[in-house]
Amino acid sequence: MKICISILLLLSVSITTTFGSSFEVKEYFVKLDSELSEVLFEGENLKQWSSIQVLNAELQAFQTTKINKAFRLQDKRLASIYLISIVSDRDDFIEVLQQNKSVLYAERVPVYSTFLVPNDVHANQWNLAKIDAFNAFGIVNNSSTVKIAIVDDAVLTSHPDLAANIWINPDETLNGLDDDGNGYIDDISGYDVADDDNDASPPTTATAATFSHGTHCAGIASAVTNNNNGIAAIGMNAKIIPIKCKSDGTSGSSLPYAYTGLEYAIVSGCDVISMSWGGGSYSLTYQALMEVANSRGIVLVAAAGNSNVSAPMYPASYKYVISVAASDQNDEKASFSNYGSTIDVTAPGVGIWSTVPGSSAYDFKSGTSMACPLVSGLVALMISNVPGVSPEMIESCLKQSCDNIDAQNLKYVNQLGAGRINAFKALSCQSIKPISNFSGPKLACPDQLITFNDKSVGKLPKTFSWSFPGGSPSASTQQNPEVRYITPGVYSVSLTVSNAFGSDSKTSNDFITVGKPLATISGSYSIPSGLKVGLTIELQGSPPFDFTLNDGTKDYSYSGIYYSPYFIDYGPVDKKTTVVIRSFNDANCSGNKSGSSIIDILGDSCVSVIFNGDFALADNANCVPIGFKTDMTMDCTKPNKGPPEIHVSPNGDGWNGAYWTGVKDHTPGGGTNVLLGDGPSTTSRLWYQFVSVEKGKTYDFSAWFVNANVNGRYAGATSRFEIRVKGVNGPLLLSTGYLGKTTPWTEFVGEYTATETGVIEIDILIIGGPSGGNDFAIDDVSFKCAGAKVGCFKSSNSAVSICATENVSLSVKNGSNYSWYPQVEISSSSSRSVVVSPKSSRYYVCHYTDADDCIVIDSFYVKINPKPSLLLDKKKVELCVGDTLEIVASGADTYIWSPDYRLLGSTSNVVKCFTDINQDYKVIGTNSFGCTDSDTVSVVVEYCCLSRSIIGLASDSIICLGEMVTFINQSKSNGNAVYQWDFGKGAIPSLYTGENPPTVKFEEGGSYKVMLILSDDCGIDTTLQTIHCIAVGVDAGIDSSLCFGDYYKLGGIGISDYSYEWNPCSSLSDCLDPAPVVTMKGYQSYVLTVTDPYSGCQVRDTVNVSELERVKYSEFGDRTACKGDTILLEINANGQQLEWHTGATDSVYRVMDDELVWIKISNGSCDFRDSAYIEFYNCNCVPNIPNAFSPNEDQLNDGFVPEIDCEIENYLLVIYSRWGEKIFESRDPNQRWYGDYKGKAVQMGAYMWVLTYINIEEQISKQESKNGVITVVR
């Protein structure tokens, strides 16, 4: 069924003309009708995009480049949504695609854009105090078990105030594999859905102004709290799942991958999704995502938008989403915040201090983007307070607990939701008695230890009182107790949960069944030697099952079985065999086993016979034919002198010969029904087929059974039949239920969408009766007895299509003994020509003998094509003369209206009627099969007195502040008309009387209800037209004069989703920052341009920065002098104020020792500061070298070393013996020679020394060299 969304889009038309420019270029969501097979092929640059010829041609005409499933998430609401990329610039893609019956809807992909007492509370965090967060922290001080998904541009996961609260995926490791099977590789801590990697942080170039939105939001929601660092957050250490929706290298505020970010948030198992972004475009696909998230218990929170209008924004206005407006420190609506009937709550959003990338680490931002994560964090706190609480209960308490701020917002009463959030009241609202609920196994084995789980909802702490009659223990006060049941039986369970506010009880009667699992095998079979038997095992208990069969010689083991009955192909068998179950267990314990299956061998001889039972099957997913043929044999002898018996044996795939042991009382020699069956009295598998399937593709099995009917049964037979389809791992997927004697099997089995890649099994089962005799007829055959005269055989197959409720004539060639069947919806059963009028598609077969005495079987497939379900939006309508009426038809592909008198669009589904006479109009609709349907509308003409007030616009209804608006009077009147216009306060003019008003200027931002009152001879008619005036705020700062080299901050706190650009960029710290720092280097005029991304409105402001008079000065540098000298520092201040670091103001400063000297010169506006270090050196550096020493260890003159009282380098002392041998060397000025050589004392006497070094105290380093004689005295 198609969904018409034209009415839903009426508002979007007025909004998205400006707001709606945010679409990802040339990408579309397309949803297929879930009742139809898949018709699109996935891939890039394919030659064929669809199995439907018309649709394929359309996709090629639009230059399609790529088609793929939009979501990996397994949910039926998203399963048939595709993402289609095209190159064509045509703008009618949606209109053309929606004409195809396979397409439920098509829509552009909207690209939404960002909106902008713990021991670590920052002084700037006024928002926490405003919502009474500190009292709330007294109730809940840890929310670390709750997960908030921040779906945004990026989150800096390494930020010191965020890192400890970043979620760690417990089921994933960094090994290049998708360990948790969620479709994302190595998603340890969130995911980058834009660049398809596991790094959700912004690029390294991110600053406080760029790529910082998500990081700021994450800090508001749940920065690490109570850690003596940075800031605190309302989320009280809830875990953050960072989801990056913006590609590295891109700029601006758009989030092209927000929809895949939401998908990951749902997959990750979060509790809250925070969405500080949006736009004016509604999307059915996004609404489906919200429904999926809500159904999984996720609370959705979104920003209402920053355009100061009452127009709805999305996702905030989607169903199941909490829409958040912004307020300031005085509880007044933030100047930028949207308002209106779609708002749910309001939260602080002006000048919010939070985390950002870059060196500053923290910054201010404003916007509903900041209000949204504050609500998200509070929701996390509420979930932690009452685990298991539903999204509906969260929203209810959140609204009930808001503070009323109407008094502060008289212009916006009832337009800011329930009020401003109050965290303490929200948690207090949850102080109610618990709701009891629990879960546990439904089946258990005797003496098995089982666990019952508390699922109750209520504020902690809670106490529990369990009752287990017949169990051990019979009662428990644990939250999740373990219990055993010794005796088989059916038992009830009760739980009473209590907290400080009351208690609640729940009792589930007959909740758990305790007993041994059971496996049963039964049935006796007679088959020809060498064939297989289809054994049937009935299993009762908790899957998976394991069992072992034994045939007297060998064991056969089977494990991991999930369904019952379970069929086994046993054989081939060449002797009488009895099969029993040796062992059996289910998932819990070993079980009981019973029964046996006895197989006898037949000794009949058989001959071949033709079987006209070919099936041509189509796998719609990949167009690969599936078919099978079955040869059969029969025995024309007369066992025991009785009538001939036909024995059918399997030679083809899928036929199980164990179940047709013979068909009696049929005489060979002509066309008749072959009866397959006469099997055991228990459920048996008659026919089966294995089919390979691929995950995500859809298969239609209805065509497999179009010619299968139960007929020709024995009188009194008790069998029934059923068709079942089993999945890859065993579970039952489809079942027809029991089919009666003559019930056609057509279309009992329909579509199956594979959840895994593998092999599924299709079975036809005989549901046995108490006395056996299970018959089954699958088709007609012609056969002969061995040795009899061989006649000729002919057959043909043809097909014809008709529309539903029509009939068609079928004819065969001249001959005799005509026999048509089935005898359903047919004019005759024995004529050459018949008229058939089937209600659904079916085969008709005629058996007859032609002129050549040949047996002929002609088969006709009559396909029933559906007629269109034509529907008119009107049946009888009154029309005033001179007026125009729109009539809409739906349900067909093409339309023809008649008569076409005063009718526009007679071949369209929508016509404009302006008839002046009473007229019945008939429309004939035709679908793609050529089938038609018709309907009629009666138009009754009246002469009316009309008064209709209509306001037209020469431009868009969304304007920027200061734009002039031209209103067009499109009213219809009947004379003496008076027009009164009311444009509202803040408009110039605000009132006007006359037909055509002057252009109007709106001087304040907001949404205006423009009213036109038309008064004429017919009465009064009033109409309204909404004008959304966008007032973008801009403030470049105050003109300033600065001293050269000074720093100054321009602008102010920015709105989170607005874009800011400064020109020129010279001397600014960041040209895209709403508040950059300028370094004074001379006069400069800066222009700030602010852009609202939704309306496109731009405003500019200019700030001038000029340089004050520079100080006249002469720099002085570091100086050196010889010790004992005096340095005079003299400064010519040129009449300016001078001050030394000592406070002295003289122009000369005297320095006599090492000193760091500071000076400040001021001209009254600017200062000059300089410093110099004055250092004094020993300019006369003479070493003191003794001429003798006595190394006798008396501590007096024991060693020889030159004493040098100045700074030196490259010191070297060498001592020689009287024979010129070097006996001592040192490069350490402090090392002494103690008169030894090689560890022994030298003799008394004279020794020569040589000393070299560099004096580095003098300005020019000087190499010194000395020598002399030192005497050793002992």
Which CATH number covers residue 894? 2.60.40.10
Question: Are both 671 and 802 inside the same structural domain?
Answer: no
Residue 9 lies in a domain: no
> Which of 309-323, 781-795, 844-858 shows the highest mean pLDDT?
309-323
The pLDDT tens digits for 541-586 are 989 999 999 999 999 999 988 878 787 878 778 889 999 999 999 9
Residue 866 has pLDDT above 50, yes or no: yes
Active site residues: 152, 213, 369
Q: What percent of the chain has pLDDT over 90?
A: 44
Compute the 3-state secondary structure of the chain and give helix, strand, coil in percent, each to the nearest 5.
Answer: 10, 40, 50
Give residue 209's pLDDT band: very low, low, confident or very high (50, 70, 90): confident
Could you tell me if 485 and 353 lie in one domain? no
Asked if residue 768 and residue 879 are part of one domain, the reply reads no
Does residue 1 form part of some domain? Answer: no
CB-side exposure of 430: number of CA atoms within 13 Å? 31
Same domain, 481 and 594: no
Q: Do 510 and 532 fall into the same domain?
A: no
Residues 6+ apart with CB under 8 A from 505: 436, 494, 495, 496, 497
Distance of CA 566 to the CA centre of its chain: 39
Q: Are 879 and 885 in contact (CB under 8 A)?
A: yes
Q: What is the CATH number of the domain that holds 1209?
A: 2.60.40
**Rounded average pLDDT over 1215-1224:** 90
Lowest average pLDDT, out of 655-659, 755-759, 1075-1079, 1104-1108, goes to 655-659
Task: Return the HEC string of 1020-1065.
Answer: EEEEEEEEEEECCCCCCCCCEEECCCCEEECCCCCECCCEEEEECC
Of the candidates 462, 544, 470, which has an alpha carbon nearest to the alpha carbon of residue 504?
462
User: Which strands sit side by side in the sheet containing 112-114, from one edge to the other?
Assistant: 254-255, 112-114, 277-278
Q: Is the pLDDT of residue 5 over 50?
A: no
Quick one: pLDDT band at residue 790, thresholds 50, 70, 90? very low
For the residues 842-848, what does the mean pLDDT come to?
79
The answer on pLDDT for 660 being more than 50 is no
Q: Quick check: is 678 in a domain?
A: yes
Going by pLDDT thresholds of 50, 70 and 90, the confidence category of residue 72 is confident
Mean pLDDT (whole number) for 1022-1027:
91
Backbone angles phi, psi at 371, to 5 degrees: -70, -35
Question: Of 87, 110, 133, at which residue does a domain stop?
Answer: 110
* 938-997 pLDDT, tens digit each: 999 887 777 788 898 888 888 999 899 999 999 888 778 999 999 998 899 999 999 999
Q: State the pLDDT at residue 752.
A: 61
Q: Return mean pLDDT, the chain.
A: 81
- The strand pairing partners of 490, in sequence order, are 513
Looking at the domain assignment, is residue 1132 inside a domain?
Answer: yes
Residue 1250 class from Cβ within 10 Å (0-12 exposed, 13-18 middle, 19+ buried)?
middle
C-alpha to C-alpha distance for 813 and 811, rounded to whole angstroms: 7
Per residue in 579-623, pLDDT tens? 999 999 999 899 999 999 988 876 533 322 223 333 222 223 232
Measured CA to CA, the distance from residue 768 to residue 766 in angstroms comes to: 6
Higher pLDDT, 566 or 755: 566
Select the more confidently predicted residue: 603 or 1168.
Answer: 1168
Structure tokens at 164: 């400890």
Residue 1053 has pLDDT above 70, yes or no: yes
Report the alpha-carbon distance of residue 787 to residue 687 in Å, rounded: 31
Least reliable range by pLDDT among 112-116, 172-176, 692-696, 1149-1153: 112-116
The pLDDT confidence band at residue 1190, using thresholds 50, 70 and 90, is very high
* Total domains, the chain: 11
pLDDT value for 1117: 80
pLDDT above 60 (res 464): yes
Residue 1233's pLDDT is: 95
Give the domain CATH number at 82: 3.30.70
Cα–Cα distance for residue pair 35/577, rounded to 1 Å: 49
Average pLDDT over residues 414-421: 96
Asked if 60 and 130 count as a contact pair (C-beta separation under 8 A), the reply is: no
Q: Which of 1177, 1199, 1216 is the last residue of a domain?
A: 1177
The mean pLDDT of 303-308, rounded to a whole number, is: 93
Range scoring the smallest mean pLDDT among 683-697, 868-882, 1202-1216:
683-697
Q: What pLDDT band is residue 926 in, cutting at 50, 70 and 90?
A: very high
Dihedral angle of Cα 1091, 1093, 1094, 1098, to the nearest 10 degrees: 20
pTM: 0.58
Tell me, what's the pLDDT at 122? 60
One domain, residues 764 and 843 = no
User: What's the confidence (pLDDT) of residue 195?
Assistant: 93
Does residue 1251 lie in a domain region?
yes
At residue 527, the pLDDT reads 64
Q: Are residues 1003 and 1053 in the same domain?
A: no
Residues 767 and 913 in one domain: no
Contact 951, 980 (CB under 8 A): no
Does residue 1 carry a pLDDT above 50? Answer: no
CATH number of the domain that residue 181 is part of: 3.40.50.200
| 669 pLDDT more than 50 | no
Q: Stretch 98-113: mean pLDDT, rounded?
A: 82
pLDDT, mean of residues 737-755: 48
304 in helix, strand or coil? coil
pLDDT digits (tens, 9 = 90+) for 1063-1104: 999 889 889 999 898 988 888 999 999 998 888 899 999 999
- Residue 569: the pLDDT is 73
Mean pLDDT over 329-354 rounds to 95
Using omega within 30 degrees of 0 as the cis cutoff, is the peptide bond preceding 315 cis?
yes
Clarify whether residues 1153 and 1266 are in a common domain: no
Q: Give pLDDT, residue 688.
A: 54
Q: Specify the pLDDT at position 742.
A: 40
What pLDDT does residue 882 have?
77
Do 663 and 798 lie in one domain? The reply is no
- The more confidently predicted of residues 666 and 917 is 917
Let me know if residue 4 belongs to a domain: no
Task: Quote the pLDDT of residue 398.
Answer: 96
Q: 271 and 172 share a domain? A: yes
- pLDDT at position 618 is 28
The token pair that represents 358 in the structure block = 């870059």
Averaged pLDDT for residues 35-45: 70
Can you tell me the mean pLDDT for 1126-1155? 88
Query: Considering only CA atoms, which of 843, 792, 802, 799 is closest in space to residue 821?
Result: 843
The more confident residue out of 705 and 813 is: 813
- Domain identity same for 739 and 654: yes
**Domain around 676:** 608-781
Least confident of 148-157, 194-203, 652-661, 699-708: 652-661
Confidence grade of residue 35 (pLDDT, cut at 50, 70, 90):
very low
- pLDDT confidence tier of residue 763, bands split at 50, 70 and 90: low
Reported confidence tier of residue 913, pLDDT bands at 50, 70, 90: very high
**Which backbone phi and psi does 228 adopt, to 5 degrees?**
60, 30
Domain annotation covers residue 117 = no
C-alpha 28/C-alpha 97 separation (Å) is 11
The structure tokens listed for 749 are 């089995």
What is the number of helices (H) and of strands (E) in the chain? 11, 90
Average pLDDT over residues 634-647: 39
Q: Which of 41, 75, 110 is the last residue of a domain?
A: 110
Most confident of 463-467, 701-705, 740-744, 1220-1224: 463-467
Residue 73 CA from chain centroid, whole number: 7
- How far is residue 1034's CA from residue 1160's CA, in Å, rounded to a whole number? 39
Contacts of 258 (CB under 8 A, 6+ apart): 111, 112, 151, 245, 275, 277
- pLDDT digit string (tens) for 675-709? 333 334 445 555 555 666 677 776 655 434 333 33
Residue 15 lies in a domain: no
What per-residue confidence (pLDDT) applies to 765? 57
Beta-sheet pairing, 1262-1272 with 1245-1255: antiparallel
